[in-house]
Amino acid sequence: MKKEIKFSLVYRDMWQSSGKYMPRVDQLVRIAPEIIKMGCFARVETNGGGFEQINLLFGENPNIAVREWCRPFNEAGIQTHMLDRSLNGLRMSPVPTDVRRLFYKVKKAQGTDITRCFCGLNDPRNIIASIKYAKEAGMIAQATLSITVSEVHNIKYYCHLADQLVAGGADEICLKDMAGIGRPATLGKIVNYIKTKYPNILIQYHGQTGPGFTPASILEVCRNGCDIIDVGMEPLSWGTGHADVIMVQEMLSDAGFKVPEIDMAAYMRARALTQEFMDDFLGYFIPESNRRLQSLLIASGLPGGMMGSLMNDLKDNLSSVNKSLVKKGQAEITIDELLIKLFDEVAYVWPRVGYPPLVTPFSQYVKNLAMFNLMQLTKGKERWTMIADNIWDMILGKAGKLPGDVDPVIKALAKEQGREFYTGDPQDLYPDKLDFFKKEMVEKGWDAGQDDEELFELAMHPEQYRAFKSGKAKADFEIELAAAKAKKKNCKEGAQIEPQSVQVEVNGEKFIVNIGFSDTTAPNAPKVEDVKPAAAPKGEVQEVVAPLEGKFYLTNSSAETAVQIGDVIAKGDLLCYIESMKTYNAISSDKAGKVIEIGFANGDSVQEDDVLFKLQ
């Protein structure tokens, strides 16, 4: 009898792996019926990871999006699944226990059947807690092996981890080959071990296609007992995304497996809708390089899910690096040259910070640390002189146990800065917080929402949710989109970059925003022009400038007190944070004085060398 293989469509992840944004809820609702009519999917991915933050970023309520996206699949009897980051929930930083418990209750109520729990460090303590909370909420708990390749990540390592997760109550196991660098034969042996020892445990394989191993890996895991394969579809399959369902179906059918048929008329309609969404606005944020297979990714091991944001970030990083090179009288470099430098630096950094599997958030942390090193070296400074607090938390064990050892140089730096390594359960460091957010909702007159889903959203993504509620997120997105459209329109051969204006609406009030670019060949990120000149202060004024580009925040948590005008600052005092490349980078003052001006508001975009504070 032929072994049956089922397919799961990772539709939203296709977008995250390709670019910065993903479809709006109205677009998702339009394409859902065609996905159902294709008739080949047993499962569809409906939520996870950074999806909800992306909804908030373009001013859309993520709870409505998840409910509306799940509903048609629930009604059609197709299972829905989501990806969650265990200790980190749906964000980059650890989540309190009470928020984690509410997370699964909310997602189950919204229509999500299965949660794929993974830990970026493969720490079973983090995953097993999520298994427990998910099953309490009535969800199927699929535990995950985050696949990478290193001297410590061998077959024995993953088989032992699978044993721990099954013992911890996992209903299913997923091999999450997030960078697509898992070697086919090795993956097959891991699946064979799990299926032989636990024949009733369903196994699902998720592989990004970036380096090119994935078709061989799919065939190998299926031959060894895998049950479900995650797939993509045109026009967003391949590249840094996922293998196309048509190819996978044909390959497995030829190999003798029982696979579902595809309604090609529905496939073509879904394909056309996806292209329509790209043409509408999503394509402006999909770098062309992400549509290609890249064997260069084998060495760096960076996952497909972050390549979309990486290539967008790299444009800003290139501007900063070239600015430093020009100051030193050196030639500028291209984005391809910077990418190679980054991959080389990732290979240097990764073993020195303990071989964390390169999956969210730790893939971003390793990549960011590598980029910060490059930027500092370009400025004539040393490596390791810019390490964000959440990267330190990873290094110190506050997010879980690292698979490898931390380099002695970094250990010495931690000691010099008074930082201590932690070996306890990471969850113990993050106390319950729901009461704090309940109080905030009452004070602001916000509705906690059906099944407390709005309370959950505030607790999971505080800063993004506040920006969403105020209208700032929507306004910022409209500015960003207008700039992207203007750039595409003007950046044709021989065209001149002209300043653009866009009308945005915030809480019913309309504003005209001017968008300027730094030169006529390579526009920077859009910047809202401030037409209100500040009063000239008396006495000597010192400026604290941004060391990198990103989003400005005065605090990183509710436990911190924001710096205010009139505060007296000592050299070395923490002033603010710049969120760049998904990490919050603490900005300390290199001067002493009294704060007489704060240049930006929470959530504002800043460029390198922008004046953040004026001290007197």
609 and 565 part of one domain: yes
Model confidence at 259, pLDDT cuts 50, 70, 90, reads: very high
Q: Are 163 and 127 in contact (CB under 8 A)?
A: no
Dist CA 471 CA 406 (whole Å): 43
Section 571-592 average pLDDT = 84
Do residues 445 and 109 lie in contact, with contact meaning Cβ atoms separated by under 8 Å?
Answer: no
Domain assignment present for residue 356? The answer is yes
With a pLDDT cut of 70, the percent of the chain lying above it is 87
Residue range 422-467, pLDDT digits in tens:
999 999 999 999 999 999 999 999 999 999 999 999 999 998 999 9
Q: What is the 3-state secondary structure (H, E, C) of 265-292?
A: HHHHHHHHHHHHHHHHCHHHHCCHHHHC
Residue 374, Cβ density class (10 Å: 0-12 exposed, 13-18 middle, ≥19 buried)? buried
Distance of CA 143 to the CA centre of its chain: 19
Query: Once rounded to an integer, what is the mean pLDDT over residues 225-248?
Result: 95
Same domain, 495 and 568: no
Q: Are 208 and 178 in contact (CB under 8 A)?
A: yes
In a domain, 60, yes or no: no
535 assigned to some structural domain: no
If you average pLDDT over residues 83-98, what whole number do you get? Answer: 93
For the chain, what is the mean pLDDT? Answer: 87
According to DSSP, residue 263 is labeled: -
Which has the closest alpha carbon to 47: 339, 456, 605, 444?
456
Per the structure, the complete domain to which residue 511 belongs is given by: 471-529
Same domain? For 310 and 424 the reply is yes
Q: What is the pLDDT of residue 524?
A: 37
pLDDT at 365 over 60: yes
pLDDT the model gives residue 547 = 83
* Residue 423 and residue 315 in one domain: yes
Residues 496 and 592 in one domain: no
**Strand positions, DSSP E, 495-592:** 500-506, 509-515, 542-545, 550-553, 568-569, 574-580, 583-588
45 in any annotated domain:
no
pTM of the predicted structure, to 2 decimals = 0.81
Contact 470, 110 (CB under 8 A): no
The H or E element that residue 460 is part of is: helix 453-460
Boundary residue ending a domain (365, 395, 428): 428
Q: Which has the higher per-residue pLDDT, 299 or 274?
A: 274
Q: Report the Cα 179 to chain-centroid distance in Å.
A: 14
End-to-end, the C-alpha distance of the chain in Å comes to 81
Entry field: residues in the chain: 616
CA distance 339 to 292: 15
Record the tokens describing residue 157, joined without a space.
């390592």
pLDDT of residue 305: 52
Q: Is residue 83 part of a domain?
A: no
Q: Would you say residue 523 has pLDDT above 50?
A: no
- The structure tokens 């397919």 sit at 7
Residue 605 and residue 519 share a domain:
no
Q: Which of 243-247, 311-315, 487-491 has the least mean pLDDT?
A: 311-315
Average pLDDT over residues 63-82: 97
Q: Picking from 272-276, 293-297, 302-306, 550-554, which range would have the lowest pLDDT averaged per residue?
A: 302-306
Q: In terms of C-beta distances under 8 Å and separation of at least 24 residues, what long-range contacts does 196-201 make, across chains too? A: 196/225, 197/163, 198/162, 198/166, 198/173, 201/166, 201/170, 201/171, 201/172, 201/173
Residue 476 lies in a domain: yes
pLDDT of residue 251: 98
Q: What is the pLDDT of residue 381?
A: 84
Domain boundary among 428, 456, 486: 428
Residue percentage of the chain with pLDDT more than 90: 60
Q: How many CA atoms lie within 13 A of 324 on its CB side?
A: 17
Q: Give the count of alpha carbons within 13 A of 562, CB side only.
A: 14
Q: Which residue has the tokens 């990120």?
A: 525
Number of domains in the chain: 3
Least confident of 428-437, 480-489, 555-564: 555-564
Q: 453-460 vs 462-470: helix axis angle to the nearest 10?
A: 120
Please check whether residue 206 is in contact with residue 174, taking contact to mean a CB–CB distance below 8 angstroms: yes
Round to whole Å and give the CA distance between 311 and 339.
9
Indicate the pairing of strand 574-580 with strand 583-588: antiparallel
Task: State residue 522's pLDDT score.
Answer: 34
In this predicted model, which residue has the larger pLDDT, 167 or 294? 167
Using CA atoms, how far apart are residues 106 and 452, in angstroms rounded to an integer? 7
Q: Are residues 313 and 385 in the same domain?
A: yes
Long-range contacts formed by 257-261: CB under 8 A, 24+ apart: 257/2, 257/3, 257/4, 257/5, 257/222, 258/2, 258/3, 258/4, 258/5, 259/4, 259/5, 259/7, 259/40, 260/6, 260/7, 260/39, 260/40, 260/41, 260/42, 261/39, 261/40
Q: Clarify whether residues 390 and 508 are in a common domain.
A: no
Phi/psi of residue 89, nearest 5 degrees: 55, -115
d(Cα 115, Cα 194) in Å, to the nearest integer? 20
Question: For position 529, what pLDDT does the model report?
Answer: 40
pLDDT 10s digits, 526-545:
343 433 333 444 568 899 99
Verify that 408 and 312 share a domain, yes or no: yes
pLDDT computed for residue 20 by the predictor: 85
User: Looking at the DSSP assignment, which residues form a beta bridge with residue 207?
Assistant: 177
In a shared domain, residues 410 and 317: yes
The residues, any chain, with a CB within 8 Å of residue 592's CB and separated by 6 or more, are 569, 570, 571, 615
Q: Which of 483, 508, 529 is the last residue of a domain?
A: 529
Q: Using the predicted structure, report yes or no on whether residue 578 has a pLDDT greater than 80.
A: yes
Q: Does residue 507 fall inside a structural domain?
A: yes
Residue type, 210: G
List CB contacts of 272: < 8 A, sequence separation 6 or more: none
568 and 509 housed in the same domain? no
Q: For 146-164, what is each residue's pLDDT tens digit?
A: 999 999 999 999 999 999 9
Residues 348, 323, single domain; the answer is: yes
What CATH number is given to the structural domain containing 584?
A: 2.40.50.100
C-alpha torsion angle, residues 341, 343, 345, 350 (rounded to 10): 180
Parallel, antiparallel or unpaired: strands 172-177 and 140-146: parallel
- Within a domain: residue 493? yes
Pairing, β 228-231 against β 6-9: parallel
- Helices H / strands E in the chain, number of each: 21, 18
